[in-house]
Structure 1
């Protein structure tokens, strides 16, 4: 998801595109819609072929994407952010005879090869055997961990713990839930993040009321309620993702936190906390009021995450929507279902 913050609004793009990972005019610049429309398999030790070594690094690839999609946006761009990006290395098959051929279509990709073309000029790499597996037995008690196939957070109901992959291991995660009203409750995961914000006075709920220009009078004790960002820990369309982050952050839930797994259904946590942290400044930009002060306040603001907790918030599972009546938040169930494929 790409977000661009201007003076008047925040625009978003959902991007699923490909780009050549080596710099050469001989091969196509992109694989087009093949990465979305065709079945992709992992490279295994049994996969035949020669694999060319990528030349462009992660930052160059995403820098090109940012530049391409920012061209058509009105200036100035006060802030831009990528959230939930996933970079995959896809090898598309070609072969060389008198010409360079697309091995899927069995057709040449160019009319005539230059005399300077030599396939041996391209460096090789062996990507086979790079798939790693992490045991899903609870490191604490040895019980089977639970989680959907797209879940990043795995749960152990035996010892009431949650686990998050870090490198080749699982790391225990601090979590809690807010009690729901009944049996038709579904719990949606949110990252509650404590952050240090320089350049802005935003340390408490009272500060939030002033910065967001909320129609509330500051009450006694609100200066003592620490401000936290509340960011969805699940993938959803960009516009809805930002709306949920803004709505729950502005609410600043103060309900009692129960440090155990809820009994009801839990929506999978499939957005890494690292990506949630990328959206903190974006969330800040979404509720700063009045908007005309955005260009003054946002550029100097530096948001640094200090700690995080995974909180499961209760929503009523209605016919067409998940509804949080206390916070006046509703999410279309079809949108949530389709977002599992993002």
Structure 2
């Protein structure tokens, strides 16, 4: 599900009989893109910060969120869980402030994509000092008075993960999808569904037909139609002008609607940006079949809500000349109104997946490691 966040805890090695107290940390994991006068800077972030201000506990969990196996918090987990009092928005501003200090030049626009927000509870106990229950080492000086966790806002764990059935709402068939898939497929009625707080919501999907052989895999992309103000970009003819494409505008191009395109799967920031710009400039206009392809498909693990965050960033990357970005980007407003999930055929080669029509490739190893993003 796209909304809300999961609560995890770090495993502990506390001595038997210790009363554990779990301190909360916000964790942000995702791609950060900064539009600068010289171009677009990208980086991958995996950072954490206290979710409740306290001088007794460490400022973050460091690399433990990446190096250790996390478990979901459940009502069966014994201990005192301190309540978070700092909203994530404020913590995110701290993260951005920290990284933006080293960013050269003014930031014209910034977006964080593929973000995963979670709450991590780290275990501690008191033994004349606050002790880290992972390493059983002190993290504070001697305590002036006995530490009582019950005096801190919080209580026992009372959260449960809600599971929803993956039966097709349309026909009742078992739906299919990989562990990280956000969109599930019903092979019986050929429908696509995504999870939401209300249950399952149908997703309209199509594909661009490709060669029918075993060396083809279909990668998912979000095609988004948006209302754009501050720049004339409604049709393909407008794109040729705005992006200064080496093409002569042909009759009828002023009637071909312009769409934003972006990957519906996770990949490294630089490759994500390259795919976004390349497919948007290509504007696939071949006949789209209004159903899923029969061949192998790659799972959707980036929601459309994240792809929407890339729209202005996408524009900043295709506007030419580049110096025009600094003058125009602040006045441009983009409001998405329709989207379609489209699968494009890629040829499987030794190291890459290649889209031969649009001459763009994705490294296979990057996709294999994308689950860590």
TM-score (norm 1): 0.97
Deviations 1:136-160 (A, max 9, x none): 0000000010100000000011001
* CA shift for structure 1 position 66: 1.2
**Paired residue for 1:166?**
196
Q: Which residue of 1 aligns with 2:51?
A: 21
Q: Aligned partners of 2:254 and 2:306: how far apart in 1? A: 29
Q: Residue 133 of structure 1 corresponds to which residue in structure 2? A: 163
- Equivalent in the alignment of 2:81: 51
Equivalent-residue separation in structure 2 for 1:115 and 1:85 (angstroms): 41
The equivalences for 1:103-252 within 5 A come to 103-115=133-145, 119-183=149-213, 184-252=215-283
Secondary structure (helix, strand or coil) at the match of 1:240 reads helix
Match of 2:33 in 1: 3
The 3-state SS of whatever aligns with 2:66 is helix
**CA shift at 1:319, angstroms?**
1.4
Distance in 1 between residues matched to 2:130 and 2:155, nearest whole Å: 20
For residue 294 of structure 2, the aligned residue among 253, 263, 275 is: 263
Q: Distance in 1 between matches of 2:156 and 2:51?
A: 15
Does the 8 Å contact 2:126/2:147 carry over to 1?
no
1:254 — aligned with what?
A: 285
Quote the offset at 1:296 in angstroms.
1.1
Q: Alpha carbon RMSD of aligned pairs, Å? A: 1.3
CA distance in 1, matches of 2:274, 2:146: 54
Of 105, 112, 134, the match for 1:82: 112
Q: Which runs of 5+ in 1 are unaligned?
A: none
Give me the whole-angstrom Cα distance separating, in 1, the residues matched to 2:312 and 2:142: 51
Q: Once the two structures are superposed, what CA deviation does each residue of 1:237-275 show, in whole Å capped at 9, x if it has no partner?
A: 011101100000000000111111111110110001101
Higher strand residue share: 2
Change (3 A) 1:126 1:310: farther
Q: Is the 8 A contact 2:261 2:276 kept in 1?
A: yes
- CA drift at 1:127: 4.2
Do 1:157 and 1:261's aligned partners in 2 also have CA atoms closer than 8 Å?
Answer: no
Whole-Å Cα distance in 1 between the matches of residues 129 and 40 of structure 2? 47
Count the aligned residue pairs.
Answer: 342
Do 1:202 and 1:208's aligned partners in 2 also have CA atoms closer than 8 Å? yes
Residues 37-77 of structure 1, C-alpha deviations (whole Å, 9 max, x = no match): 11111112211000000011121121111111111011211
Which 5+ residue runs of structure 2 have no aligned equivalent? 1-30
Q: Please say if residues 81 and 155 of structure 2, whose CA atoms lie closer than 8 Å, have aligned partners that are also in contact.
A: yes
2:286 is equivalent to residue 286 of structure 1: no
* Cα distance in structure 2, aligned partners of 1:66 and 1:126: 33
Q: In structure 2, how many angstroms separate the alpha carbons of the residues matched to 1:321 and 1:48?
A: 48
Distance 2:327 2:196 in 1: 38
